[in-house]
Amino acid sequence: MKIIPILDRILVQPIEEPDISKGGIHLVQDNKEKPSEGKVIAVGPGRVDPVTKVRKPLGISVGEIVLYKGKYTGVPLENDGQKYLMMKEEDVLGIREQ
């Protein structure tokens, strides 16, 4: 099944952090935080401006790695065993350069 975002929403696949910290310490599952970055899987077409009636496209593209607000941003979804988050473009704080 394919999930297609509407309006100014994006579908993000969270990037899980490794079980080992940068310093080489093994992390216990309880201490791991939810990821705050992910890969953009799909983007909506954008919102229509109520005044000009022109659709404003999103500034985010499929395939980019984005940093997003907090641990509880977006709506969690699961499709074919993969975990995703559906969120608004305004929840994205930045795009990571590759």
Question: Does residue 4 lie within any of the structural domains?
Answer: no
What is the per-residue pLDDT for 71? Answer: 74
3-state DSSP assignment of residue 66: strand
Question: Does residue 1 lie within any of the structural domains?
Answer: no
Question: Does residue 52 lie within any of the structural domains?
Answer: yes
> What integer is the mean pLDDT of 40-64?
93
pTM over 0.95: no
Cα separation, 23 vs 9, in Å, equals 36
36: exposed, middle or buried (Cβ count in 10 Å: 0-12, 13-18, 19+): middle
Q: What is the count of structural domains for the chain?
A: 1
Question: Does residue 64 lie within any of the structural domains?
Answer: yes
Q: What is the CATH number of the domain that holds 88?
A: 2.30.33.40
Q: Average model confidence (pLDDT) for the chain?
A: 85
> Is residue 27 pLDDT above 70, yes or no?
no
